[in-house]
Structure 1
Amino acid sequence: MINSFEVKETNEMIEKENLDVRTITMGISLLDCIDSDLDKLNENIYNKITRLAKNLVKVGNDIERSYGIPIVNKRISVTPIALVGGSACKTVEDFASIAKTLDQAAKDVGVNLIGGYSAIVSKGMTPAEELLIKSIPLALHTTERVCSSVNVGSTKVGINMDAVKLLGNIILEVANNSKDNDSAECMKLVVFCNAPDDNPFMAGAFHGVTEADAIINVGVSGPGVVKKALESVRGESFEVLCETIKKTAFKVTRVGQLVAKEASKALDIPFGIVDLSLAPTPAVGDSVADILCEIGLEYAGAPGTTAALALLNDQVKKGGIMASSYVGGLSGAFIPVSEDQGMINAVEAGAITIEKLEAMTCVCSVGLDMIAIPGDTKASTISGIIADEMAIGMINQKTTAARLIPAIGKKVGDKVEFGGLFGYAPVMPVNNYSCENFINRGGRIPAPVHSFKN
């Protein structure tokens, strides 16, 4: 039972510390929509999404009013479209037509974003999956709310380097398509290793084939709440620090559990998971980097940063799993650059580099996220950065990702502006020594030996 003290405490977290439910995401399987006729396929997809999600936004708004809990986004994820469109799509334009259908369905039900324009190609690409990847620039350029992801590696099978090479070129093409808008369409594309089937966060959300026909997943956030709690234990031991983070993560996750259960009941769709990731925003006081500073660092990126982040991530998970029976998705601490004012400050101060961010991704949730790089960066260099991040995920049996934004026409020190939750980002330098011969080898990097536990 929730008592009056917990209600008061939660209200204070919402009013003063930027606590929110970042998203209610409805996952929808499109497997029963498959048809060899493209027009019929698009009709089936539109009808199923609009039928199941027609009340999603209304229910989210009702919960928001009833409990006073801000629910920032209402979103949809669908079965990877490379699977759904494989029979009907013969050209890039065919696949892009499905993206337009997804976009129209998202607009008509009123959700912020729809994810699942995706391909899972960890070991190899079918012709349809390769075609979908090649269609991503057109799909993202001709839609507003569609998000795309490609899973190119896993601990079990290794890294598909053919897909990694291809995506270096695709990301540059996406960037060029939106060069008049700071290459902002790259925000809607992410490359994964070990992508989870139940991630509610964009741009990487898709509805995995292991999932039910429809599901409700909730992503909570609360970096400001954690930072505020840590202010009261400055100078205390690591034991006290860890206990404080755990207790706070528990409270934050309980809010997400409540919202998920209420949404599931109102929509008559099963509850899936609560993702308890600390997802920052550009708002003052809502920063993961600021938590690291509160732990004792002058800036994120200072010596000790990886240890502090590892501690934070682990305690968030330990607190969260006691608050919900079903914790999933990504769950941990995100470290995007543009969406976190503290990270932006660290980059501008010269305290953090891409190489240090890469080291941090060994212990955090996800990976190199929302990082602007010079627009003249070579495709092979982008592929090399992706390969490094995928290797971290593969070896460490964790989800990693890369969401890179080659800002066309911009150089190191310039800024790109995205607005809203996406904020702005300084363009960061990359190592320009060539990795082209490595990327051009072709084939795949084999899985590490621990993949043979089965």
Structure 2
Amino acid sequence: MINIYEVNETNQMIEQENLDVRTITLGISLMDCIDSDLDALNEKIYRKITSMAEHLVSTGEQIEREYGIPIVNKRISVTPAALVGGAACKTEEDFVTIARTFDKAAKEVGVNFIGGYSALVSKAMTKSDEALIRSIPQALACTERVCSSVNVGSTRTGINMDAVRLCGEIVKQTAEATKEDDSIGCAKLVIFCNAPDDNPFMAGAFLGVTEGDAVINVGVSGPGVVKHAIEQVRGKGFEELCETIKKTAFKVTRVGQLVAGEASRRMGVPFGIVDLSLAPTPSVGDSVAEILEEIGLERTGAPGTTAALAMLNDQVKKGGVMASSYVGGLSGAFIPVSEDQGMIDAVNAGALTLEKLEAMTCVCSVGLDMIAIPGKTKASTISGIIADEMALGMVNQKTTAVRLIPVIGKDVGDTAQFGGLLGYAPIMPVNEFDCSVFVNRKGRIPAPIHSFKN
């Protein structure tokens, strides 16, 4: 049983070390909204979201006041729109009306993001799936709070290269559609392999089809807390270092468990999972890169970085699973560039490259995240990068993702400004050798041999 004494133990973490509950995400199933009439569908969606999430923000704020725990974001995830809209949406424009409905409902209930403008196409695309994917640039350009994702691969099915090729084009089109704001639309678009059904973190959150009618998922973060803890074991061996990270992750997860339980009870919605992810922010002292450097690297990207990140990720997960019976989502360490001041500094110092980031994604929790690249980068090159990252997820039986931002009108040496939690990012160079012949092959990369476990 969790009690207030455990929370009191974390007061210093909250006040001095940037500990927060990054998000309470309310998952809402829209399967019962499906209708062949588009107007009726949108009306049902709006009513369902606004009625179920009516008290989400106020409940989060009440918990903040009572326990003194910052809850940075209150968000919503919904059933993938490609499934919900399949019967009513005949065109890309039809799907955009759903995005507008999502946005309107999110504004009405006061959440900052709603995720689920999504399609799951790891094996093949239906006409509905393809129409939604092609509508993404327009949908993200005309909304403020809608987040989109596409799952294009899995360990069980392989990689849908037709979808990968299309997603490269969609990323470029989204960048063009939002070029007046440094192509920020791409910051709300994630391409996945092995996407989890219970991810509370944007921009990749959606409510998977294995979930119930509604669920509360909580995402907890604390890079600053972990960094402060391991400062106390400088010069010690790996055993002491690992124990310190594990114990710290346990305490942080307990805070998330408390908040999740309270939110679930007060809203009358089942508790799903706690996601313990070291998700950085642009704030000083809230950086995963600084943890790696505290472990012993001059700069993130130096030799040893991948090993240090693998150890960090593993100990965070081990601590988390001891603190809650339901740890899920993407638990581990995120390595977004734009949201992490230490990562930005490493890029600017020449220590961290796109290729090194790709190697690091083999052992972290997500993938190539919030990386700004030259606006002139070809769609086929973006597709090639997506394919590489999807292969890492497929073969290693883990979730991987790509959130690339080709910033139109900017090149290496420039900086893209996104604001808020999204921060800013230096434009990173991309290997410009052509991969279009590979990307343009049609069909699917087969699942790896170790996928056959029946």
Instruction: Please give the TM-score of this superposition, normalised by the length of structure 2.
Output: 0.99
1:73 alignment partner in structure 2: 73
- What amino acid sits opposite 1:402 in the alignment? V
Q: Distance in 2 between matches of 1:405 and 1:80?
A: 23
Q: Distance in 2 between matches of 1:199 and 1:402?
A: 15
Task: Provide structure 1 residue ranges, at least 5 long, that are not aligned to the other structure.
Answer: none
Q: Distance in 2 between matches of 1:47 and 1:272?
A: 23
2:202 alignment partner in structure 1: 202
- What amino acid sits opposite 1:270 in the alignment? P
Structure 1 residue 360 corresponds to structure 2 residue 373: no
Matches within 5 A, 1:346-357: 346-357=346-357
Shift of 1:188: 0.4
Structure 1 residue 237 corresponds to structure 2 residue 237: yes
Structure 1 residue 389 corresponds to structure 2 residue 386: no
Describe the superposition over 1:234-283 as per-residue Cα deviations: whole angstroms up to 9, x where unpaired. Answer: 01000000000000000000000000000000000000000001100000
Structure 1 residue 82 corresponds to structure 2 residue 78: no
Shift of 1:50: 0.7
Pair 1:190–1:7, CA change in 2 (3 A): closer
Q: Distance in 2 between matches of 1:180 and 1:144?
A: 14
- What amino acid sits opposite 2:136 in the alignment? I
Structure 1 residue 105 corresponds to structure 2 residue 105: yes
1:35 alignment partner in structure 2: 35
- What amino acid sits opposite 1:362 in the alignment? C
Q: Distance in 2 between matches of 1:393 and 1:18?
A: 30
Pair 1:239–1:56, CA change in 2 (3 A): same
2:166 alignment partner in structure 1: 166
Instruction: Please give the TM-score of this superposition, normalised by the length of structure 1.
Output: 0.99
1:140 alignment partner in structure 2: 140
Shift of 1:7: 3.9
- What amino acid sits opposite 1:236 in the alignment? K
The Cα RMSD (Å) is: 0.8
- What amino acid sits opposite 1:77 in the alignment? S
- What amino acid sits opposite 2:331 in the alignment? S
Shift of 1:140: 0.5
Describe the superposition over 1:195-254 as per-residue Cα deviations: whole angstroms up to 9, x where unpaired. Answer: 000000000000000001000000000000000000000010000000000000000000
- What amino acid sits opposite 1:157 in the alignment? T
Shift of 1:2: 5.6
Q: Distance in 2 between matches of 1:314 and 1:361?
A: 13
- What amino acid sits opposite 1:38 in the alignment? L
SS state at 1:246 partner = helix
Shift of 1:5: 6.2
Q: Distance in 1 between matches of 2:296 and 2:4?
A: 34
Task: Provide structure 2 residue ranges, at least 5 long, that are not aligned to the other structure.
Answer: none
Matches within 5 A, 1:289-308: 289-308=289-308
Contact 2:389 2:402 in 1 (8 A): yes
Q: Distance in 2 between matches of 1:116 and 1:442?
A: 27
Structure 1 residue 335 corresponds to structure 2 residue 335: yes
Describe the superposition over 1:266-319 as per-residue Cα deviations: whole angstroms up to 9, x where unpaired. Answer: 000000000001100000000000000000000100000000000000000000
- What amino acid sits opposite 2:63 in the alignment? I
Matches within 5 A, 1:32-431: 32-431=32-431
Describe the superposition over 1:144-176 as per-residue Cα deviations: whole angstroms up to 9, x where unpaired. Answer: 100000000000000000000001111001001
**Once the two structures are aligned, what percentage of the paired residues are identical?**
78
Pair 1:303–1:212, CA change in 2 (3 A): same
Q: Distance in 2 between matches of 1:111 and 1:239?
A: 42
Pair 1:272–1:310, CA change in 2 (3 A): same
Q: Distance in 2 between matches of 1:413 and 1:77?
A: 36
Q: Distance in 2 between matches of 1:298 and 1:6?
A: 35
Q: Distance in 2 between matches of 1:192 and 1:81?
A: 16
Shift of 1:115: 0.2
- What amino acid sits opposite 1:346 in the alignment? A
Q: Distance in 2 between matches of 1:114 and 1:95?
A: 16
Contact 2:7 2:255 in 1 (8 A): no
Shift of 1:61: 0.2
Q: Distance in 2 between matches of 1:4 and 1:93?
A: 50
- What amino acid sits opposite 2:436 in the alignment? E
Shift of 1:9: 2.8
Pair 1:441–1:18, CA change in 2 (3 A): same
Q: Distance in 2 between matches of 1:183 and 1:140?
A: 10
SS state at 1:239 partner = helix
How many pairs are equivalent?
454
Pair 1:2–1:208, CA change in 2 (3 A): closer
- What amino acid sits opposite 2:333 in the alignment? A
SS state at 1:176 partner = helix
Pair 1:204–1:283, CA change in 2 (3 A): same
SS state at 1:185 partner = helix
Q: Distance in 2 between matches of 1:126 and 1:347?
A: 40
Shift of 1:420: 1.1
- What amino acid sits opposite 2:185 in the alignment? E
Shift of 1:6: 3.8
Contact 2:214 2:270 in 1 (8 A): yes
Contact 2:2 2:254 in 1 (8 A): no
Pair 1:3–1:45, CA change in 2 (3 A): closer
